[in-house]
Structure 1
Amino acid sequence: MKMLAKSFLVGIAALVVLPASSAFDINAINVKQVSFNDQNDPELDSDARDVKINAGGVNGSDCFVYTSQANYDLPSSTYSFDDFKIWETCGVFDGDSTDQLTNELLRGDNTGSEIRYVFADTSGDGSTTCFLEDAPPTGFSVELLSRPSGSNTDLTDTSLSGGARSSRRCDLSRDGTVVVFDTDDASLTDDDRANNQEHVVYTQDDGNSFIRLVPDEFYNATDGKESISGVVSGDGSYVAFHSNIIYPDASLTASETYLWRESDKNIHKVTNLKGKECNRTLMFDTLIGLYGIDKLIEQDLATELRLGNAGTQCNAFAAAGELSQTGTIDVKDNPASISDDGRFVAFTTNFESATLRGTLERPTPVSQRNLFLFDTKLGITWNITDEGESEGGMPVDEPKLEQFQCLTAPTSFGGGAIVANRTACSERNQIRQSCCWQRPFFLPVVTNRISGNGESIVYSSDLGPITDTGIQGDQEIVHYHVPTGIRTQITDTRNRDYDDFFPSISQMGDAVAWTSDFDYTTNEPITLTNQIFASKLIMGCSRDTTASNFEASPDVEVCCEFDNLNLDTAGKGKVKEVTFVLMGDPDTLKAHVAFSDVDSDSDEKWCAAYVEQVRNDVACSLAVPKESVVIVDDATDCNNWTKDQIEVTLLFSKNPIKKVSDMCTEIQLQYDDTNSKLWTSYLTKTLKLDNKPKLSE
């Protein structure tokens, strides 16, 4: 079937993350509509959601797999409009002609049985799709579709248990060989789990066998100990999931994120939430310190039980930067995401989880759900989102919170009351920290997805009080480039009723899709009939016209690439050694590397990966070929590295792009300029102050 591809230009706010401040620039970016209302009867309101992106189109172009009620050109007498179906739309970015946009029905019910198909995922080339079949009254089964054969495999079948066992969301490896999903069907792994106990299972043989990801030594056949939300790497070698199992140094009350390795079936705990849980006793003691016990008694707050679960106080004190033991939102609400090689795992929580920050980056409060990125090779957890700070470098102050929150404060948020203005907020509520200028209720992140190459993350956010464009409760789509720290705002409705949410991203990070409450083609709300929209970002290097990825005005500035580089054409010049000194504790970082407790060579691999990342950052900062920045023979010997004294020596060598002398001059100038790319790149942002790169021959 063919239909018209609609497009428009929407304001895009591009945020470059700087050490001491943040700034937005408004540009223009092309956004196109992917899904549409029903074509047979436009008066029907069809809903679309849960989009994923593959490269299965013509010449590897982007296609979109999603759930929709629309029939498009299917006969309504055969396919029920009310039932959700799985569609694939291709040609979205190929132009505006009706001949270029195609829709293919991947799965739908034509039996009149009111079967719904939902929560699809797709392989990288689109040849394999997994999804859930909801067949009332038996529940959700997992299916796997292969193309072009059209063969469909039932990985699970709830009808066999009379609906007593069902499955939830599936995730498919990019190569299409592995499916992971949540299920309470104990028969798949032949265990004795309690009724309704969910676990993530793994299959790499089209459902002929299954592996429960929680190993037997940590498995507990009780209602309360589960694993959920599995996401799989590109070839199935790694799976990230959430669980509340009993595990060394795991929180006893909060779910943690784990990484499973197929080669040896070991698991590694990604998060470290223990000891950061919200503590009602601590909150009560803090209130006593602030107001005195007599005032608490006067206001009917005489015991800690009067605080409920103390979540309100935990969030307020975290936003104020007063306390760190204030976690209330663990990881389980939303799935993590994982890069194709398994190096990066992104997860969300309001438990403070960052283990390293840029040298010039001030700590930011973590009061609401934030986005964190765990580097399995380097043992670093970065905080990607930012709750901001006041002019004096302190956490967000009351005026900023009040301006952002009080005009649109809901009557309740997160299970607690919010009083919307100073006149109405009683003394008791002020003491309880439940007024709109005290308790934060913005959304730094809701859901996220990392690109297959691990270089981009897309997430939804209301941008919080640190921006001029954020609106409380208005979810917008944001793109984050991992190597350079560039943050790019994709959507900008500035209306809390017009959310953009559930984003997805392509393997290379240049295509982003999401579900929207707003129809950008008509500038009208579609809050009851959400549709899928997509953006194609121009990602390139503008700093050297000879770069193979040169773009004069890219949407996202990335590292320069140089194909077919001929080093024999390099100009004359002496090779220079340059020594960089970086912050961080080598022993702590190595201890956090995934599976470091079972891999005997993990220290050596960490050292090599660390030096290679510094090399990449320096080459990217200088916009030169990586081949012109060489690792010296003993650079990966990190035995002499100590805390905040990590010394990495690299060679600047001859190349056809830039003279060695110019590279030396520029790297020192960039060190002096705290807004330079050297200070915003992935690892060199941890350079040590007052230790200028040292040059020697």
Structure 2
Amino acid sequence: SPNFRYRESELGIMSARVLSLFAMMGSARAVVSTIGQVRQVSFEAYDQMGEALDADSRDVTVTNDGDCFVYTSESIHGNANLSIDDWRIWKTCGVFEGQTLTHTLVSNPAQPANVDYYFAQASGDASAACFYETKGSKDVILATGGTFQKLSNNVVGASRAYAHCDISKTGDVVVFEQKDINGTYRIYRRPTEGGPAVIIGPKTEKAGWPRTSSDGDRTVFMSEQKIYDQTLTTRSSGSSWDEAWVHEHSTGDTAQITSLAGKMCNRTYVYELLVADFGADNLTEQGLTDPSKLGNAGSTCQFYAAKGVIGGAGTIDLGDNGASISGDGRFVVFGTNYDVATIRGTYEAKSAVSARNAFIFDSSLGLTWQITAEGVAGSAEYAKQIEAFCCPAAPSSKKRGACSRKNEMRGLCCWQRPCGHPMVAQQISTDGKSIVLWGDGFPSANRTNYDYDVFHYHIPTSVMTGVTTTMNKDWKESYADISARGDVVAWTSAYDFAKKESIKQTNQIFASKLALGCSLNSEALNYLPSPDVETCCEFEAQAQSMVGDTCHEVRLKFHGQADEMLASIPFGRGVGFCSRYADAVRDDVACSLAIPSGHIDVTTESCASWGAGGIEVDVRFRSSDHAEAWSAQLIAQIKDPSSRIWSGYITKTMRAHASQESASGGGLADSPVTYTAKSCAPDCGGGCKPATTPQRASRSLLFSALPACPPGCQPK
């Protein structure tokens, strides 16, 4: 399926390193499994008689190193001065093997009566945190060094704050949402050390869900858009949806990075589809006399999206769960059932977008990828998956033999309308290489509808790994977060992985420490013979090869519209696009061959013509000992659609043989890869000499000045 490979089907292979058990649920047997070192983070509270108290925990944030967790809890951790009835913010450290367990109160010990704290976000070392105060003043609180500030005190004339805030990993910047003097929710930014809070993204629409980069320079947020179109709704308030925007503090610019307008569910159009499918008279006979009889038509739009008649259902925007942003601000991850992907892998079939799926926007290359998948829209296989996943737990009135003709016409029967949740919400790691998301894995046969599990997605290799599997909708894992390197994930759990029992009424925080590593090269710094998540090999200083007499060069061609990619890069950062693309190719090739990237030089001599002639680069191996072998390995991988090169972040979009692409249903066919062996010494011309280290052209599609020396050369 597109962009990922599920690991949950490999239970036999994983059995040596997973926790598994079988629990009877009526006549059904549920399999619980995990990967990594799973530990409990929050704990139940007990009275003086040893009786368990109703103390829940939820909404966890993981620190940079993954050793500490900040979360909301009713627990008192033995502090008799605290009330079990209040929600407060705790930090727990040392839950993994070889560590010392500690619990530290983050929120105010003098918490007012009948005031609760929720939705904490913490800096990378948890020295600063922000959270939401319910009841009371309903404010956002900033906690630093034992002091507690109400942020709205710094916003003149503002009304009450709302729930969402974020703090930079450096701890220097806090962003939060709050009503302005006109009663409209806006995004504010201020230094944690003090100073005025300023509105970012000067727009009049409602804004929410701020999330900021490591240094607080880039902040992603949602902003409401409205349209008055009676083909969509007859409500006087019109239709509204939330788009994603990014504000860059250093430039003062704000850029919209999604475009949902015109893609929302259109009930007038889907009614026309119903007329074409069933006839106007038959619809009238069932009381479906006009589009208004479809309500908002959301379910019918999902039905037609699953059939592949419309690109996406267009009913779930970005406003309810927001987005997350990588530490450097390059990647933004979000969920929607609008069809917003701009590219996919050559061997990846087009996925349906009927339910909420995860997408990632790359501000460096101007690409948007769909990283979860439902199935091939309109295919017989996907139709079978929908029925197998949705019908067992569906109401009897929606099952075969009982679903009414009217419901069947509207696409509401259990075998028609997708019911699952490929993802509900997500977080991206600070290093921008990993994503944690939670959902029910729809439409996988190894998952259960409404049983939310935790998944880990590795961006450089496009691999999805199931971290938890509980197979019971009452044993959900949700509200997950991830460490800076992506090796620790934590979540709110309705299942106790230690006691192996349900804690539906007293949720707690659990975490898994994942073994991320490379098994393909024993000389790699991160070598592991059997990692939980296979990653790219890492080498010390990425040492570069000495140049031999002969270099071996492979020319690669790629799908993608360079001019459209360039136009999607925000903040005028198009200059250097070709070099960034070359870097991405270099990293993918190095990852697929498990060698240091310093052995590879990727040149973009045709960069200026990419807009018209297509994207192509030359991959040159610069080792006198291994260049020929590496070239042969790369070509062999290109010929094998199941090889690692075809799961690389950008190399999965390479053009392939016409016969291969036709069989896969991929993109446009093109000539096969070309390979040459030639002298390593380039023709540098006057004033330049062969470079002693790899040199890349810095030309961009903005036709910036050519480098002073040709690729592979440097000034004398």
Equivalent residue, structure 1, for 2:214: 234
1:604 is paired with a residue whose SS is: coil
SS at match of 2:348: coil
Letter in 2 for 1:659: H
Q: Distance in 2 between matches of 1:638 and 1:159?
A: 49
Tell me which residue corresponds to 1:640.
Answer: 609
1:204 to 180, 191, 214: 191
CA distance in 2, matches of 1:111, 1:594: 43
RMSD value, Cα: 2.5
Match of 1:93 among 87, 90, 96: 96
**Residue in 2 that maps onto 1:293:** 280
Conserved? CA contact 1:140–1:158, under 8 Å: no
- Shift of the alpha carbon at 1:263? 1.4
* 1:427 is aligned to 2:405: yes
Is the 8 Å Cα contact of residues 582 and 644 (structure 1) preserved in structure 2? no
1:72 and 2:68 aligned:
no
1:385 aligns with 2:372: yes
Aligned-pair CA distance for 1:650: 2.3
Distance 1:43 1:410, change over 3 A: farther
- How many angstroms does 1:160 deviate by? 10
The C-alpha deviation readout for 1:357-384, integer Å capped at 9, x for no partner, is 0011000000011110000010100001
Pair 1:133–1:253, CA change in 2 (3 A): closer
Alpha-carbon distance in structure 1 between the residues aligned to 2:63 and 2:479: 16
State the alpha-carbon separation in 2 of the partners of residues 183 and 151 from structure 1: 21
User: Does 1:269 pair with 2:256?
Assistant: yes
> Which residue identity is paired with 1:639?
A
Secondary structure, aligned partner of 2:557: strand
Q: Using the alignment, how far apart are the partners of 2:517 and 2:312 within structure 1? A: 42
Q: Which residue type is aligned with residue 148 of structure 2?
A: N
Provide the residue aligned with 1:5 in structure 2.
none
Residue 152 (structure 2) aligns with = 156
Deviation at 1:396, TM superposition (A): 5.1
| 1:530 equivalent in structure 2 | 507
Query: 2:388–2:445: 8 Å Cα contact kept in structure 1?
Result: no
1:499 corresponds to: 476
Q: Which moved more, 1:608-617 or 1:102-111?
A: 102-111
Cα drift, residue 112 of structure 1? 5.8
TM, length-normalised to structure 2? 0.84
1:647 is matched by which residue type in structure 2?
E
How many angstroms does 1:484 deviate by?
A: 0.2
Which residue of 576, 590, 596 corresponds with 2:552?
576
Change in Cα spacing, 1:17 to 1:565, as seen in structure 2 (3 Å) is closer
Alpha-carbon distance in 1 for matches of 2:392, 2:190:
50
The amino acid that maps onto 1:107 is S
Please state if 1:127 is matched with 2:127: yes
Q: Is the 8 Å Cα contact of residues 315 and 439 (structure 1) preserved in structure 2?
A: yes
Q: Is the 8 Å Cα contact of residues 515 and 533 (structure 2) preserved in structure 1?
A: yes
Match of 1:37 in 2: 44
SS at match of 2:456: strand
Q: 1:238 to 1:637 in 2, by over 3 A?
A: farther
Give the partner amino acid of 1:45.
D
* Contact 2:553–2:621, Cα closer than 8 Å, also in 1: yes
Equivalent position of 2:636 in the other structure: 669
Q: 1:573 to 1:461 in 2, by over 3 A?
A: farther
Q: Distance in 2 between matches of 1:16 and 1:322?
A: 19
Structure-1 separation of matches of 2:313 and 2:60: 34
* Aligned pairs (5 A) from 1:321-360: 321-324=308-311, 326-360=313-347
Residue identity in the other structure for 1:464: F
Offset at residue 164 of structure 1 (A): 5.1
Q: What's the offset of the Cα at 1:639?
A: 1.1
CA shift in 2, pair 1:480/1:554, >3 Å: same
1:69 maps to a residue whose letter is: E
SS of match in other structure, 1:156:
helix
Equivalent position of 1:604 in the other structure: 575
> How far apart, in 2, do the equivalents of 1:566 and 1:628 lie?
8
Instruction: Give the corresponding residue for 2:383.
Output: 398
SS of the counterpart of 1:228? strand
In the aligned structure 2, how far is the partner of 1:256 from the partner of 1:23? 33
Query: Which residue in the other structure is 1:472 paired with?
Result: 449
Question: What is the distance in 2 between the residues matched to 1:431 and 1:651?
Answer: 58
Aligned to 1:144: 142
In the alignment, which of 160, 176, 183 is matched to residue 178 of structure 2? 183
Deviation at 1:394, TM superposition (A): 2.5
Question: Structure 2 vs 1, CA of residues 379 and 252 (structure 1 numbering), >3 Å: closer, same or farther?
Answer: farther
Change (3 A) 1:508 1:18: closer
Decide whether the 8 Å contact of 1:79 with 1:112 is kept in 2.
no
Alignment of 1:450-599 (within 5 A): 450-465=428-443, 467-564=444-541, 567=544, 574-595=550-571, 599=572
CA contact (8 A) 2:164 2:208 kept: no
Q: Structure 1 residue 207: deviation in Å?
A: 4.5
Question: Helix, strand or coil for the counterpart of 1:290?
Answer: helix
* Cα shift readout 1:553-585 (whole Å, capped 9, x = no counterpart): 0111111111156557x6966222221111111
Cα 1:262/1:571, change in 2 over 3 Å? closer
Matched, 1:626 2:635: no
Letter in 2 for 1:103: H
Q: Does the aligned pair in 1 maintain the 2:86–2:114 contact within 8 Å?
A: yes
Q: In structure 2, what is the Cα distance between the partners aligned to 1:44 and 1:306?
A: 49
Cα drift, residue 23 of structure 1: 7.9
Partner of 1:51: 60
Native 8 Å contact 2:95 2:101 kept in 1: yes
What residue number does 1:695 align with? Answer: 675
Query: Quick check: 1:80–1:110 contact (8 Å CA) kept in 2?
Result: no
User: What is the deviation of 1:389?
Assistant: 3.1
Distance 1:499 1:615, change over 3 A: same
Count of matched residue positions in the alignment of Structure 1 and Structure 2: 630
Q: 1:61 to 1:311 in 2, by over 3 A?
A: closer
SS in 2 for 1:32: strand
CA contact 1:585–1:644 (8 Å) conserved in 2: no
* Cα distance in 1 between the residues matched to 2:3 and 2:332: 21
Over 3 Å counting, the alpha-carbon distance change for 1:410 and 1:539 in structure 2 is: farther
Measured against aligned partners, the alpha-carbon deviations of 1:526-575 in whole angstroms (never above 9, x if no partner) come to 1110000000110011000001110110111111111156557x696622
Q: What CA distance in whole angstroms lies between the structure 1 residues aligned with 2:363 and 2:199?
A: 22
2:415 partner SS: coil
Question: After superposition, what is the alpha-carbon deviation per residue over 1:165-206, rounded to whole angstroms, capped at 9, x for unaligned?
Answer: 23322101110111111111x2xxxxx52x3x2111111254
What do residues 466-518 of structure 1 show as CA deviations (whole Å, max 9, x unaligned)? x2311111100000000001111000001111110000000110000000110
Per the TM alignment, residue 214 of structure 1 is displaced from its structure 2 partner at its CA by 2.2
In structure 1, what is the Cα distance between the partners aligned to 2:459 and 2:600?
Answer: 21
Q: Secondary structure at the match of 2:427?
A: strand
What's the secondary structure of 1:347's corresponding residue? strand
Identity of paired residues, percent? 37
User: How far did residue 16 of structure 1 move?
Assistant: 10
Higher mean C-alpha displacement, 574-583 vs 356-365 = 574-583
C-alpha separation in 2, matches of 1:90 and 1:207: 28
Label 1:603 to 1:208 Cα distance change in 2 as closer, same or farther (>3 A): closer
Change (3 A) 1:396 1:335: farther
Counterpart of 2:588, as a letter, is D
Query: What's the TM-score once normalised by structure 1's chain length?
Result: 0.86
Deviates more, 1:356-365 or 1:324-333: 324-333
Instruction: Give, as a single letter, the amino acid of the residue that structure 1 aligns with 2:144.
Output: S
Q: 1:510 to 1:22 in 2, by over 3 A?
A: closer
**Runs of 5+ consecutive residues of structure 1 not aligned to the other structure:** 1-14, 187-191, 412-418
Please state how far the C-alpha of 1:605 moved relative to its aligned partner: 2.0
CA contact under 8 A between 2:313 and 2:355: conserved in structure 1? Answer: no
